[in-house]
């Protein structure tokens, strides 16, 4: 297989010609753009679309920033209990900056429009729904002239990835600022590590390793749909279980290590091969799991220069917990995340062993900038208030496509190129922009209540049969 870069081969060049490079500073240099931001003395108004745990956290992070006043003024979800729970949490923590009366709380699949209609051009919409809705909400925000913070991952399939890249180009053309919730890029120790690797401190990167192996978490494993709420709403509530809603647990759980390790390399892989399987097909009570995830993944990514990235993920109880990332260079090695998605300290060493005697550098906290979730909001709002070009969507899509490539390689049992993923014809939620409470779910269970599951080697380059 030709090991050319995803940004160099013919189909990739054609893709760039279609969607445009999104380097805002160079692409828009000299172009008169509308100034879309609030004056520094004005409070930026925020609408929260998607009121689960991550949405509640993101809204709180926005209000924890230090560059100027931020006010939450509208909320939207498809579940009353999630909206109310989020509101109650936020009003307790931020009583002075939450201003969401009942007439600015919206329920339904069109609630995102109503929430964004409460904002002025230059305000900020937060998108923390399952990823299938990301392009729908982003389209409306661009029409309304709104800046955006959207949570990762961004897409589950190639068709939607191309659509998101085109929308990103439209957002940049309107001078809108867009942040993507890959917070590791805003973690100050990782920023310093990236600079040190760029400066040659550990030589040329040859091998990188990411591990997220722990208990089954979130909604990744589901037993049979109980019959209520509707099958569609149940799948949204248990979004980790369904590829259409989350990209599956591989995308949602492992994307942070994939993103920050590719950042250290300053490249995206050109191909992947992988292993994975469903070792446990029922819970402790004997109820069968009906979701679309494997419970273990091992992906080998290859870069254009032959370097490798290994990403190992496991969701199993009572197994060894391993959760960190490493980069091996020709002169030394780096600990990127010591624990978790980004947990400090980051370190560099002479040679390939993490020995104290070989330590070159160890990160130190920067007071007031320890939390990357707040840092990413400070960076976004600074760009809005000071009218600095800022659009993280291309990088967010590339990280998401790379994650999806690993998932697809494991689920199909095929060695796949980056372009195989990007140009795959399998669309997981083709009618998501038309969903109502009466809509059927994007995937339907068989007579035993089990959803289409990946079976490597059975469906070619499709992750499950498209006819089901």
pLDDT level of residue 466 (50, 70, 90 thresholds): low
pLDDT at 90 over 90: yes
pLDDT score at 29: 38
pLDDT score at 465: 83
What one-character DSSP code corresponds to residue 288?
B
Give the predicted TM-score (pTM) of the model. Answer: 0.91
CA distances from 293 to 68, 248, 253, 418, 438 (A): 43, 6, 12, 21, 26
Q: Name the packing angle between helices 53-63 and 372-386 (round to 10°).
A: 60
Q: Are 51 and 75 in contact (CB under 8 A)?
A: yes
pLDDT score at 16: 37
pLDDT score at 36: 52
Is the link from the previous residue into 465 a cis peptide, with omega within 30 of 0?
no
CA 253-256-257 angle, to 5 degrees, is: 100
Strands 416-417 and 332-335: unpaired
pLDDT score at 229: 96
Chain segment 281-323, per-residue pLDDT in tens: 888 889 999 999 999 999 999 999 999 999 999 999 999 999 9
What structural domains and CATH numbers belong to the chain? 1-10+187-368+392-468 (3.30.360.10), 11-184+374-391 (3.40.50.720)
Residue 290: what are its φ and ψ, rounded to 5°?
-115, 5
DSSP assignments along 194-260, one per residue: HHHHHTTTT-SEEEEEEEEEES--TTSS-----S-S-HHHHHHHTGGG-HHHHSHHHHHHHHHHHHH
pLDDT at 452 over 90: yes
pLDDT at 234 over 50: yes
pLDDT level of residue 217 (50, 70, 90 thresholds): confident
Nearest to 383 by CA among 194, 162, 171: 171
pLDDT level of residue 8 (50, 70, 90 thresholds): very low
Measure the CA dihedral 290/160/138/150, to 10°: 60
Q: What is the mean pLDDT of residues 355-366?
A: 97
Percent with pLDDT over 70 in the chain: 91
Q: What is the mean pLDDT of residues 130-140?
A: 98
Tell me what the pLDDT averaged over the chain comes to.
92
pLDDT score at 281: 85
pLDDT at 28 over 90: no
pLDDT at 40 over 90: no
**Dist. CA 333–CA 330, nearest whole Å:** 8
pLDDT score at 37: 52
pLDDT at 27 over 90: no
pLDDT score at 167: 98
pLDDT score at 408: 98
More confident position, 187 or 13: 187
């Amino acid at each position: 297989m030709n090991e050319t870069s995803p940004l160099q081969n013919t189909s990739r060049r054609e893709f760039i010609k279609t969607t445009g490079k999104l380097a805002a500073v160079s692409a828009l240099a000299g172009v008169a753009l509308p100034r879309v931001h609030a004056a520094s003395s004005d409070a930026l108004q925020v609408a929260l679309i998607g009121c689960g745990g991550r949405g509640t956290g993101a809204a709180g992070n926005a209000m924890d920033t230090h560059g100027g006043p931020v006010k939450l003024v509208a909320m939207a979800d498809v579940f009353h209990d999630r909206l109310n729970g989020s509101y109650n949490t936020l009003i307790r923590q931020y009583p002075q900056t939450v201003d969401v009366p009942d007439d600015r709380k919206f329920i339904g699949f069109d609630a995102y429009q109503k929430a964004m209609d409460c904002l002025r051009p230059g305000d900020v919409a937060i998108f923390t729904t399952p990823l299938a809705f990301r392009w729908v909400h982003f389209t409306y925000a661009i029409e309304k002239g709104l800046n955006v913070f959207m949570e990762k991952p961004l897409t589950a399939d190639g068709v939607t990835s191309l659509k998101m890249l085109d929308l990103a180009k439209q957002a940049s053309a309107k001078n809108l600022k867009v942040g993507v919730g890959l917070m590791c890029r805003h973690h100050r120790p990782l920023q310093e590590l990236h600079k040190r690797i760029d400066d040659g401190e550990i030589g040329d990167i040859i091998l990188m390793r990411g591990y997220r192996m722990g208990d089954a978490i979130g909604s990744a494993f589901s037993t049979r749909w109980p019959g209520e709420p509707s099958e569609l709403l149940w799948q949204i509530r248990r979004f980790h279980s369904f590829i259409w809603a989350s990209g599956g647990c591989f995308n949602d759980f492992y994307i942070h290590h994939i993103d920050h390790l590719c950042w250290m390399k300053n490249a995206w892989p050109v191909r992947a091969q992988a292993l994975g399987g469903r070792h446990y097909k029922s819970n402790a009570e004997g109820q069968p799991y009906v979701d679309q995830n494997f419970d273990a993944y091992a992906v080998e990514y290859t870069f254009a220069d032959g370097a490798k990235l290994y990403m190992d993920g496991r969701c199993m109880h009572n197994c060894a917990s391993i959760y960190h990332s490493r980069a091996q260079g020709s002169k030394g090695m780096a600990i990127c995340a010591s624990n978790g998605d980004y947990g400090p300290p980051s370190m560099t060493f002479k040679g390939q062993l993490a020995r104290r005697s070989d330590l070159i550098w160890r990160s130190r906290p920067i007071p007031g900038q320890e939390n990357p979730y707040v840092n990413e909001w400070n960076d976004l709002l600074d760009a809005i208030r000071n009218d600095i070009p800022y659009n993280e969507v291309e990088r967010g899509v590339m990280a998401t496509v790379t994650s999806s490539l690993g998932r697809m390689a494991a689920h199909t049992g095929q060695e796949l190129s980056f372009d195989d993923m990007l140009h795959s014809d399998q669309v997981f939620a083709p009618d998501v922009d038309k969903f109502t409470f009466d809509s059927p779910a994007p995937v339907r269970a068989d007579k035993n209540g089990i959803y289409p599951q990946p079976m490597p080697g059975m469906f070619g380059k499709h992750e499950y049969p498209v006819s089901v």
